[in-house]
Amino acid sequence: MSSNKTRVNKIATVVIAVSDQDRAIEFYVEKLGFQKRTDVPFGNRYRWVEVALGDEVTTIALAPPPEGKPTGNVETGISLQTDDIDAYHAQLKAQGVDVDAEVSRMGDPVPPMFWLRDPEGNTLMVIQ
């Protein structure tokens, strides 16, 4: 008899495949304000890198792609939350981050939002 109870208790890591890990680390740490939590070698020539925000448990891995798979221009499905979307949008724009021209305001129940793109064209959403 199977149980309906899940054995999963958190979202641990979201993976973004990147071709240039150092450039990705610089972007996520210096521009977006993440902290580098893990940077360790694995396999013969790879690095496992994870970044996260503050005390959050869920991390984003900036990982090399699987063999033969392209990187970049991926809709990550990741959304970041801010308490002051206009200030954060202006800050990122001033830092040269590829952000939407304006914050989108569609009205309830949709929160104010904009999209940003990392150096490899991967998109993340920012909401308030």
Q: CA-to-CA distance for 117 and 32, rounded, in angstroms?
A: 11
Is residue 71 scored above 90 in pLDDT?
yes
pLDDT at 3: 61
Residue 12: is its pLDDT beyond 90? yes
> In this structure, what token pair is assigned to residue 28?
């996520």
- Give the single-character DSSP code of 104: B
Q: What is the pLDDT of residue 50?
A: 98
> What mean pLDDT, rounded, does the chain reach?
95
13-127 is classed in which CATH architecture?
A: Roll (3.10)
pLDDT on residue 38: 97
Residue recorded with tokens 């793109």: 117
Tell me the average pLDDT across 14-28: 97
pLDDT at 49 (0 to 100): 98
Q: What are the domain boundaries of the chain? A: 13-127
For residues 2 and 79, the model is more confident at 79
- The reported pLDDT for the residue numbered 72 is 95
Distances in whole angstroms, Cα of residue 43 to Cα of each of 12, 15, 47, 48, 112: 21, 17, 8, 10, 42
Confidence (pLDDT) at 44 = 83
Write down the pTM of the prediction: 0.89
